[in-house]
């Protein structure tokens, strides 16, 4: 399919972007995503937390840690992955947050909200980007309760 990328294409793109970060540190090119993350983690261990928040390194490290997980968990059996997550979310809606948290484990710079958004974009409708949708929902509840409260105080 023209214009689409395969898993290995994405790996090569991330390794190329990682090479830029490695050159800045005068480090050799890495041939694997795990090697890239390990090399950067070793060199930047004293400032790792702040380093992972910088835009260039955050993008590369997020993708370098997310791609292998997506490959193992999703691409190896997309229908099975979607069916499992969809089934659990319908039977036990409270578990959706836990599943997203489990999936985000080990992915640098991607917490539960971004993983929920990723899962929603895969077609799993019970997963929403919490920070955006809950804020809107809470505002509506707060507004309706205030209106109800005002009506009972001042009939």
Q: For 88-131, how does the pLDDT look when each residue is reduced to its tens digit (9 = 90+)?
A: 888 888 788 888 899 999 999 888 888 988 888 888 887 766 66
CB 108 within 8 Å of CB 61:
yes
Count the neighbouring beta carbons within 10 Å of the beta carbon of residue 47.
Answer: 10
Q: How is residue 120 written in tokens?
A: 């929603």
96/118 Cα distance (integer angstroms): 13
Q: Does pTM surpass 0.85?
A: no
16 pLDDT band, cuts 50/70/90, is very high
Which pair of structure tokens corresponds to residue 151?
């009506």
> Rounded mean pLDDT of 55-81?
93
First to last CA, the chain: 65
Tell me the average pLDDT across 79-86. Answer: 92
């Amino acid at each position: 399919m023209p214009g689409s990328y395969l898993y290995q294409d994405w790996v090569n793109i991330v390794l190329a972007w990682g090479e830029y970060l490695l050159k800045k540190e005068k480090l050799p090119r890495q041939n694997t995503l795990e090697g890239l993350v390990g090399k950067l983690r070793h060199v930047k261990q004293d400032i790792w937390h702040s380093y992972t928040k910088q835009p260039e390194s955050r993008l590369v490290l997020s993708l370098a840690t997310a791609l292998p997980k997506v490959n193992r968990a999703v691409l190896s059996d997309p229908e099975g992955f979607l069916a499992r997550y969809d089934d659990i979310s319908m039977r036990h809606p409270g578990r959706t947050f836990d599943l997203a948290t489990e999936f985000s484990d080990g992915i640098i710079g991607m917490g539960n909200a971004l993983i929920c958004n990723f899962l929603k974009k895969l077609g799993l409708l019970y997963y929403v980007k919490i920070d955006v949708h809950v804020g809107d929902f809470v505002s509506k509840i707060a507004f309706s309760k205030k209106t109800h409260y005002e009506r009972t105080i001042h009939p």
